[in-house]
Amino acid sequence: MSHMNSLSLLSLAERLALPSRRRFVQGLTLGGLAVGVGFDLHAARAAAPSPQVPVLSGTEFDLSIGTLPVDFTGARRIATVVNGSLPAPTLRWRQGDTVTLRVRNNLPVTSSIHWHGIVLPADMDGVPGLSFMGIAPGETYTYRFKVNQSGTYWYHSHSRFQEQTGLYGAIVIEPREPNQRGERDYVVMLSDWTDIDPERIYATLKKRSDYFNFGKPTVGDFVRDARAQGLRNALGERDMWNRMRMNPSDLADVSGYAYTYLMNGATPASNWTGLFACGEKVRLRFVNGASMSFFDVRIPGLKLRVVAADGQDIEPVTVDEFRIGTAETYDVIVEPDADRAYTIFAQSMDRSGFARGTLAPRVGMTAEVPALDPRPLLSMADMMGGMDHSTMPGMDHSNMDPATMPGMKGSEGSCGAGMPGMAMPTVASLTTGPTIDMLVATPRTNLDDPGVGLRGNGRRVLTYADLHTSGAPISAEPQREIELHLTGHMERYIWSFDGKKLSDAPPLRLKHGEQVRFTLVNDTMMTHPIHLHGMWSELETPHGEFQVRKHTVVVQPAQKVSYRVSADALGQWAYHCHLLYHMEAGMFRVVEVA
């Protein structure tokens, strides 16, 4: 059955087990308070302010991993938490200090904590199975390392799906020398909560990858397209997508049907609030701690001065909106100059839901919440690369054959055979087959594209081309290059590097002290946030010049990006897509520095 005609419908029993769509997206006013015996839920909803995340400071920390009953949507569930808090407590460190973190695991299964973006010894990184075996039930593991950086980072579990169930928190590291600080300083942690067991979500995606996609083209969409493009073009475009067995609405594997989007642990209805005095500079430290969601963030009525990316100071750039990929962090400064409230609006990339909070002079104030933007669709330029997105509207699709399109080498159907009239493609010794459903022969290399859903929306949107790290890069000119293709097979829900999952791939071996250029080519329809543990990724321009230092690099569909890595950290390091279910499905490699 084609994507155009199929529907991802839950069973009646499953629908009845979930709260209403509005309740699930908006959540309860209560947020995530624990529900205990004798707890007056209705009274608490009326009286409780938005939840506040605990803050722990100093050099000695005792963290306890456990469980907590929560209720975000009207359905009682069990979350995985640290010190009884979701999100986990914000940790405030100081650059130059040595921190000691004693982590006790009170779960019945092995757990772990990874300090995302922190440069430290391999046995302190917190990835079970590499230089660390995990924290066994009832055991305590002591992390101890010197903090040699500053900025906004975060921490999370690296054990199966514990991150999805709540084990994540922010890290704020004060610099030795003061930087662009505001009179107010808030962490804004974005995340995606689900009432569905993550194991069930994963199993469902393996059986049917489009299960949670309720934004597929409809008959109404076809009528609209026919009026705008003409019947011939509309039919040609639908036929083209159907022959490729792909879907232009495939932006997120898990949508707002399964997710309630949280801001600092508060549902949209709960409305987390940060206070300010008129005329103050407010620093907002945005952290995307979601498992599978990208967010497009704006504050209507305020300009956003972006001053840091992934913890690293950048040359300030002023925008109206920015996209934050899973695991990325951005620091922005805003200057509210009116005695009014402002909505912090973070809509999911597929426009199936949003997280929301408020900046206000006084508790209880609110501002209008914007409507979700129209649901975006991928274009053929997102599939093929090597094309200017501005040329796509109005193209004649009626006689297009994907096999002859520039940059598109082909795609393989669900039964393993190529499309009619298409040669099996070969790119860098890769071919389509059981683990790869498409390859891009001429990927684009530009960094000035804000991404699908943000192009030409009338707002000034941040791009990677706007980011320039303050100061010179650490690494020198690379001595060699490693090219990897981000590959997948959507219908089988298989994700990989170069068509090989972790269990089938040898480590990427680097010599201690060498300079390496990593080049990533995205041969999939999805946007992937790629994270290298233990070392910085120094993104380059298309001309090979240093651009910005990051710990997580977002690669758009049909895009090719390069970054330098200085192999200055001995040990075994994780290298993976930070979309949690993609990582678990195989988009993971080990980088070995010796």
Give the residue, 540 or 5, on which the prediction is more confident. Answer: 540
pLDDT at 406: 41
Residue 40 pLDDT > 90: no
The model carries a pTM of 0.87
Give the residue, 241 or 421, on which the prediction is more confident. Answer: 241
Average confidence (pLDDT) over 446-456: 95
- pLDDT, one tens digit per residue, over 77-129 is 999 999 999 999 999 999 999 999 999 999 999 999 999 999 999 999 999 99
pLDDT at 528: 98
Give the residue, 163 or 37, on which the prediction is more confident. Answer: 163
- pLDDT, one tens digit per residue, over 259-277 is 999 999 999 999 999 999 9
C-alpha 6/C-alpha 250 separation (Å) is 14
Residue 447 pLDDT > 80: yes
C-alpha 515/C-alpha 196 separation (Å) is 44
Q: What is the mean pLDDT of the chain?
A: 85
- pLDDT, one tens digit per residue, over 177-215 is 876 667 899 999 999 999 999 999 999 999 998 888 876
C-alpha 455/C-alpha 1 separation (Å) is 32
- Which backbone phi and psi does 304 adopt, to 5 degrees? -110, 115
Average confidence (pLDDT) over 400-418: 41
pLDDT at 43: 37
For residue 97, what is the enclosing H or E element?
Answer: none
pLDDT at 428: 56
For residue 415, what is the enclosing H or E element?
Answer: none
- Range with the poorest average pLDDT among 82-86, 107-111, 350-354, 379-383: 379-383
How would DSSP label each residue in 466-534? Answer: G--BSS--SS-S-SEEEEEEEEEETTTTEEEETTB-GGGS--EEE-TT-EEEEEEEE-SSS-EEEEESS
- Which backbone phi and psi does 336 adopt, to 5 degrees? -65, 125
pLDDT at 224: 66
pLDDT at 29: 64
Residue 71 pLDDT > 70: yes
Q: What number of helices (H) and strands (E) belong to the chain?
A: 8, 35
Average confidence (pLDDT) over 297-302: 98
The token pair that represents 83 in the structure block: 């010190």
Average confidence (pLDDT) over 429-443: 89
> Would you call 166 helix, strand, or coil by DSSP?
coil
- pLDDT, one tens digit per residue, over 136-159 is 999 999 999 999 999 999 999 999
Residue 554 pLDDT > 60: yes
pLDDT at 183: 86
pLDDT at 77: 97
- Range with the poorest average pLDDT among 253-267, 382-396, 480-494: 382-396
pLDDT at 182: 72
**pLDDT tier, 221 (very low <50, low <70, confident <90, very high otherwise):** low
C-alpha 174/C-alpha 91 separation (Å) is 11
Residue 16 pLDDT > 50: no
